Amino acid sequence: MTYVVIDSCINCKYTDCVEVCPVDCFYEGENTLVIHPDECIDCGVCEPECPADAIRPDTEPGMESWVEMNRKYSEIWPVITQKKDPMPDAEKYDGETGKMEKYFSEAPGEGD
């Protein structure tokens, strides 16, 4: 099992999760985060830290595409290990559905 970030993170990018990760397996895109599935040790400490409920175990139904998306971008985006401010309009986008199709950016974030 591994944990993955789903589209609830897009345009919110709360980083509470990266501070508690013992193995630094979070990577930062321009408007979202991902988890490297091969680096995640399945400890689960990140999941309850996410205010947007964007972290899920890969054992939930329908997570296969999220595992691949997280793998793809964690291999090209910079690692993030320190908490940063969320996106400026995070509260506006928190809870919105369909964010992958509407807002996802392939551009990398700044990382640490």
Percent of the chain with pLDDT over 90: 97
Which class for 54: exposed (0-12), middle (13-18), buried (19 or more C-beta within 10 A)?
buried
**3-86 fold:** Alpha-Beta Plaits (3.30.70)
- Residues in the chain with pLDDT < 50? none
- Beta strands at 33-35 and 26-28: parallel, antiparallel or unpaired: antiparallel
- Across the chain, which distance is largest between two alpha carbons, in Å? 33
pLDDT for 1: 84
**Structure tokens that stand for 112 in this block:** 């640490």
| Residue type at position 20 | V
User: The pTM is what?
Assistant: 0.96
Q: Which residues pair with 99 in a beta bridge?
A: none
